[in-house]
Amino acid sequence: MSPRLSKWIALGIGILLVGGALCIPLRGAQPPGPRLRAPADAETTSVRGRIEKFTTPPRGEVDGAVLDDGTWLHWPPHLQDRFADILKEGDRVRATGRTETGPAGDTHFEVQSVTNLRNNATAENPDFADGPPPSPPGVRRVAPGRSADRDQRLRDLEDQVDQLRREIRRLRRER
């Protein structure tokens, strides 16, 4: 890879990170639905509903579904076949899991299992662990809201950008 191309890639990553940080209050990518915040010790619960549509991340995998009440079910994208094999739009489902708030403030129901109530087929999420996922090393998870929280979130994001820049420099030296 040419140094010029590497420089453009690094610049693009920086722009995306800063742009994402500025868009946190907008939460435009979140499907419609309840905007609940789970406490750090959220318990496993169940939800029911009819699948209105499936959700996909930028790479195009199926990573969840939106129910008729607006609940956003989410599972890891690499498990798309496990869930897509038993579900289709219009199916009534029961999901077990917990409500989580992502780093951008988006709220979703992270599934432990989903059962299709039409045929009782169930898909499990082996990646589901008891308790919310840990924050990445060196990053403090802060709930959005007050300006002090906003300032801390910005500092945390700036630290992540610095870490990415150091990693880019290290990878360039290894060539």
Residue 88's domain is classified under what CATH number?
2.40.50.140
Q: Which residues contact 120 (CB under 8 A, 6 or more apart)?
A: none
109 and 162 share one domain: no
CA angle 25, 13, 133 (to 5 degrees): 60
pTM above the 0.85 mark?
no
Residues 168 and 103 in one domain: no
In this structure, is residue 97 part of a structural domain?
yes
34 part of a folded domain:
no
Note the pLDDT tens digit of each residue in 55-113. Answer: 998 888 999 999 999 999 999 999 999 998 999 999 999 999 999 887 777 889 999 99
Say if residue 50 is in the same domain as residue 117.
Answer: yes
Q: How many domains does the chain have?
A: 2
**67 & 13 share domain:** no
Question: pLDDT tens digits, residue range 17-30?
Answer: 555 555 444 443 44
